[in-house]
């Protein structure tokens, strides 16, 4: 068969393919469905465990078996992602209501990694069996799995808004979801109230759901912003850990600060990071009243103890801990979920509305299914009751029949060419048979003991029950209020069994302001080499090696630790670095690149000049660009706390060639690439603002450009290839003196 080649536009193909990939990641991997609050991998793990019969009242099963079965049947994307999903659903410090019961090492709140899947076991939690998976076979649609050999549910019939209860985190292409967890009891109260009053506002809804409830507890310190977060579905929560003061009980004991709850964002390696941060604060003398720190956390909860010196300022230490460590952190809220196959940012009201819409859909499917079964049952029961009244004729017909099929047809039609009933009276009755096929099969399967009086009475009672159920199911399907009553009854039973007190509390805390004592200014020497690495050294070390240092380093400034290094780049920006932030090193140490200490990017621009803030006082900056524009700017314009500012405005395709410190009594010399030199007096150079472009300073040929500028010293001449060029003064805009061309 000949190969078929399709020609298409490359960019269009890339765009279409990437869009398809993006939507696949969004809808099929990273973002949960609003109906059951689960991502596809979570849904598949739970469904597979249900299929394996690993229920809460059964024995646990090896995690490796669960992961392998899930991967082989439903999720062929690798067992590591499946096991990670299984682990997270079992961790009570990450989920308000764990959906899986884990046996073995499933990790810890302190960041300990779980054991390999071959060592751990798991089974479904009772909540999952009762609330997430109940009526699975009656209520949801199924679709083919990845190889179309099996079926998997499109969604699980969750009877509770799991998206709110356990929250969700996921990163897709171009979007992410980050929804906090909430208190089950509060959600139950909200659902009941909302069913009774669907027009309630989000503000009214928040009388029931007070805010997020994280499994690690803690404090939400911006309570006033919660209404806006629940109205828009996005925002930032300010989380704080809970600190308790324990005074010394005995003379030998010490006062303690005990952290009993942590922000949810500290789950993982956050506790060890917090302890190392506290140790660094102590080493840097920012906190001097903490004598020891140790972690006594266990399965019963968090307990991080900080021992204090006698009469330590407790409030100040607490504020420092909140300000300088992750004990106060920000949680970004973005309640994004898949709604009807599309990603949508949800507010509190839309989440509850979608949940109830799904519940009514589940009830409708469930009771239609049950109604069909009861109607089938009613049909058979009516046939059996009728058969009991006609039992003599039926027995006579059966004696005359040659096969089951023949008897079945007679029961359905009352006709047969081969069956002859000898008793004419019974024959007349038999000819009136008009049972349905289902009834005929039931009669043929009926056992004789069913003719006992009590059995017949039970059959009639079952028939009455069937009629009552049919009536009830029809009412539920017809009357939405009946369905609402069922949801309310269900929600109340869930609250009764699984409800618990809230862990996270709220306040409107003031922004913490720490008045830090300014460190004592110390003299030092700033060094920067031609490769852009900078450092500071002790002044005595500089004095001992002055000649070597001055020769080896491009920039050398004697300065103080409270000073700032000022770096000018070719793109017209000025970058500032606090000298105290530059490492104080030994002479042989390399130092740190400017890129790591500021926003300067050596891949985009070059350094043209470096100064220190004390060095530039009471002077002017002379700025010359590659295309010959010049100006003077008062250095006071650059006295700012901003780390990055625009030093000058540039034309397109122009760059800064030099930023020179200029004094009124000294001339400036400009040098071009073709070795033209222009000497200017400062009074002839216009004094402009840093936001201007400057004026034409030198006339350049098409191929020439400015490469340097320097301050002219008395009787200066430039030695180029052993030939001296005298630098006579010329006016602004002149061509300049021609030097000797450099090779």
316-334 pLDDT, tens per residue? 999 999 988 999 999 999 9
Q: Is residue 493 situated within a structural domain?
A: no
Q: Is residue 171 situated within a structural domain?
A: no
Same domain, 620 and 718: yes
Q: Is residue 113 situated within a structural domain?
A: yes
> Quick check: 565 pLDDT over 70?
yes
Same domain, 583 and 627: no
Q: What is the pLDDT of residue 518?
A: 65
Confidence of residue 210 (pLDDT cuts 50, 70, 90): very high
Confidence of residue 720 (pLDDT cuts 50, 70, 90): very low
> Quick check: 728 pLDDT over 50?
no
Same domain, 661 and 682: yes
Q: What is the pLDDT of residue 453?
A: 65
How many helices (H) and strands (E) would you count in the chain? 22, 35
For the ranges 50-64, 282-296, 457-471, 657-671, the maximum mean pLDDT occurs at 50-64
pLDDT tens for 53-108 read 999 999 999 999 999 999 999 999 888 999 999 999 999 999 999 999 999 999 99
Same domain, 671 and 734: yes
Instruction: Please state, in angstroms and rounded to a whole number, the distance separating the CA atoms of residues 444 and 450.
Output: 12
Number of domains in the chain: 4
Q: What is the pLDDT of residue 263?
A: 94
Q: The domain spanning residue 723 has which CATH number?
A: 2.120.10.90
- Tokens 């999952």 sit on residue: 128
Q: Is residue 317 situated within a structural domain?
A: yes
Q: What is the pLDDT of residue 333?
A: 94
Confidence of residue 741 (pLDDT cuts 50, 70, 90): very low
Ramachandran angles phi, psi of 323, nearest 5°: -75, -40
Q: The domain spanning residue 274 has which CATH number?
A: 3.30.1360.40
Confidence of residue 607 (pLDDT cuts 50, 70, 90): very high
pTM, 2 dp: 0.70
Q: What is the pLDDT of residue 729?
A: 47
What amino acid positions are annotated as catalytic residues? 119
> Quick check: 399 pLDDT over 70?
yes
Confidence of residue 517 (pLDDT cuts 50, 70, 90): low
Q: The domain spanning residue 48 has which CATH number?
A: 3.90.199.10
Q: What is the pLDDT of residue 19?
A: 67
DSSP H or E run through 136: helix 136-139
Residues 566-597 as b/e (b if ≥16 CB within 10 A, e otherwise) read: bbbbbbbbbbbbebbebeebeeeeebbebeeb
Long-range contacts of 279-287 (CB under 8 A, 24+ apart): 281/320, 281/324, 281/325, 286/320, 286/324, 286/516, 287/317, 287/320
Confidence of residue 197 (pLDDT cuts 50, 70, 90): very high
Burial of 524 (0-12, 13-18, 19+ CB in 10 A): buried
Confidence of residue 742 (pLDDT cuts 50, 70, 90): very low
Q: What is the pLDDT of residue 483?
A: 93
Q: Which of 580, 606, 632 is the last residue of a domain?
A: 606
Q: Which two tokens stand for residue 148?
A: 């179309």
Same domain, 107 and 61: yes
pLDDT tens for 18-61 read 666 666 655 566 889 999 999 999 999 999 999 999 999 999 99
Q: What is the pLDDT of residue 364?
A: 94
Same domain, 623 and 562: no
Same domain, 574 and 648: no
Q: What is the pLDDT of residue 172?
A: 73
Per DSSP, helices labelled H in 26-131 are 40-51, 63-73, 79-90, 126-127
Q: Which of 326, 343, 360 is the last residue of a domain?
A: 326
Q: Is residue 532 situated within a structural domain?
A: yes
Domain of 589, in residue numbers = 518-606
Same domain, 569 and 629: no
Averaged pLDDT of the chain: 88
DSSP string computed for 303-359: -EEEEE-TT--HHHHHHHHHHHSTTEEEEEEE-EEEETTEEEE--HHHHHHHHHHHH
Instruction: Please state, in angstroms and rounded to a whole number, the distance separating the CA atoms of residues 181 and 335.
Output: 11
Instruction: Please state, in angstroms and rounded to a whole number, the distance separating the CA atoms of residues 121 and 377.
Output: 42
Lowest mean per-residue pLDDT among 215-224, 478-487, 722-731: 722-731
Which of helix, strand or coil describes residue 197?
coil
Same domain, 735 and 650: yes
Q: Which of 157, 192, 225 is the last residue of a domain?
A: 157
Average pLDDT over residues 499-509: 92
Q: Is residue 188 situated within a structural domain?
A: no
Looking only at the bridges linking them, the beta strands covering 176-179 and 219-220 are unpaired
Instruction: Please state, in angstroms and rounded to a whole number, the distance separating the CA atoms of residues 317 and 450.
Output: 83
Same domain, 585 and 664: no
Q: Please give the C-alpha separations between residue 617 and each of 50, 614, 620, 661, in angstroms, as whole numbers.
A: 76, 6, 8, 10
Do 18 and 12 form a contact (C-beta atoms < 8 A)? no
Same domain, 592 and 622: no
With the C-alpha atoms ordered 160, 166, 170, 174, is the resulting torsion angle positive or negative? positive
> Quick check: 412 pLDDT over 80?
yes
Same domain, 109 and 148: yes
% of the chain with per-residue pLDDT over 70: 92
Q: Is residue 572 situated within a structural domain?
A: yes
């Amino acid at each position: 068969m000949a190969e078929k080649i399709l020609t298409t536009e490359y960019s269009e193909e890339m765009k279409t393919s990437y869009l398809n990939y993006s939507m696949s990641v969004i809808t099929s991997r990273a973002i949960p469905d609003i109906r059951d609050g689960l991502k596809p991998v979570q849904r598949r793990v739970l469904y597979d465990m249900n299929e394996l019969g690993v229920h809460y009242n059964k024995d646990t099963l090896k995690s490796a078996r669960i992961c392998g079965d899930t991967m082989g049947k439903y999720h062929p994307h690798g067992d590591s992602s499946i096991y990670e999903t299984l682990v997270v659903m079992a961790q009570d410090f990450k989920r308000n209501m764990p959906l899986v019961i884990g046996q073995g090492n499933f990790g810890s709140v302190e960041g300990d990694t779980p054991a390999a899947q071959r060592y751990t076991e798991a089974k479904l939690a009772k909540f999952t069996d009762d609330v997430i998976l109940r009526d699975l076979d009656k209520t949801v649609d199924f679709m083919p799995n990845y190889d179309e050999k099996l079926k998997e549910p499109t969604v699980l019939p969750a009877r509770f808004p799991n998206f709110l209860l356990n929250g969700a985190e996921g990163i897709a292409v171009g979007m992410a979801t980050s929804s906090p967890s909430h208190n089950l009891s509060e959600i139950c109260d909200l659902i009941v109230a909302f069913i009774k009053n669907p027009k309630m506002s989000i503000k009214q809804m928040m009388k029931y759901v007070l805010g997020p409830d994280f499994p690690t507890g803690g404090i939400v310190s911006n309570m006033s912003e919660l209404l806006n977060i629940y109205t828009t579905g996005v925002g930032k929560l300010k989380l704080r850990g809970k600190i308790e003061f324990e005074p010394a009980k005995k003379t030998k004991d010490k006062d303690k600060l005990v952290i009993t709850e942590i922000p949810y964002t500290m789950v993982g390696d956050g506790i060890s990071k917090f302890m190392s941060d506290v140790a660094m604060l102590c080493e840097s003398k920012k906190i001097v009243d903490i004598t020891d720190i140790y972690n006594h956390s266990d399965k019963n909860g968090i307990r991080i103890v900080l021992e204090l010196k006698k009469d330590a300022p407790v409030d100040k230490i607490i504020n420092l801990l909140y300000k300088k460590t992750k004990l106060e952190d920000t949680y970004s809220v973005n309640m994004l979920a898949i709604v009807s196959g599309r990603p949508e940012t949800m507010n509190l009201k839309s989440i509850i509305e979608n949940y109830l819409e799904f519940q009514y859909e589940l009830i409708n499917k469930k009771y239609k299914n049950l109604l069909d079964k009861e109607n089938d049952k009613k049909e058979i029961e009516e046939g059996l009751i009728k058969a009991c009244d006609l039992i003599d004729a039926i027995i006579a017909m059966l004696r005359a029949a040659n096969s089951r099929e023949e008897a079945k047809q007679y029961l359905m039609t009352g006709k047969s060419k081969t069956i002859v009933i000898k008793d004419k009276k019974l024959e007349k009755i038999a000819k009136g048979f008009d049972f349905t096929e289902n009834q005929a099969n039931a009669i043929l399967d009926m056992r004789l003991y069913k003719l006992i009086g009590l059995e017949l009475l039970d059959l009639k009672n079952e028939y009455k029950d069937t009629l009552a159920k049919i009536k009830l199911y029809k009412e539920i399907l017809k009357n939405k209020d009946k369905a609402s009553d069922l949801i309310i009854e269900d929600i109340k039973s869930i609250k009764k069994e699984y409800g618990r007190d809230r862990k996270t509390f709220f306040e409107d805390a003031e922004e913490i302001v720490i008045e830090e004592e300014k460190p004592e200014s110390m003299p030092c020497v700033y060094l920067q080499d031609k490769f852009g690495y900078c450092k500071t050294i002790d002044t005595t070390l500089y004095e001992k090696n002055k000649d070597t240092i001055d020769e080896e380093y491009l920039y050398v400034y004697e300065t103080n630790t409270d000073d700032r290094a000022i770096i000018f780049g070719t793109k017209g920006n000025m970058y500032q670095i606090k000298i105290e932030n530059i490492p104080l090193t030994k002479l042989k140490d390399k130092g740190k690149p400017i890129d790591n200490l500021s926003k300067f990017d050596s891949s985009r621009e070059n350094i043209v000049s470096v100064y220190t803030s004390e060095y530039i006082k009471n002077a002017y900056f002379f700025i010359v660009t590659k295309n010959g524009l010049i100006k003077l700017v008062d250095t006071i314009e650059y006295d700012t706390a901003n780390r990055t500012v625009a030093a000058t405005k540039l034309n397109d395709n122009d760059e800064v060639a030099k930023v020179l410190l200029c004094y009124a009594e000294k001339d400036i010399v400009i040098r071009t690439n073709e070795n033209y030199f222009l000497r200017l007096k400062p009074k002839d150079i216009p004094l402009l603002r840093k936001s201007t472009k400057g004026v034409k300073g030198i006339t350049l040929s098409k191929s020439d450009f400015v490469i340097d500028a320097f301050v002219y010293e008395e009787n200066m001449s430039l030695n180029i290839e052993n030939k001296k060029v005298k630098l006579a003064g010329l006016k602004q805009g002149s061509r300049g003196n021609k030097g000797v061309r450099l090779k």
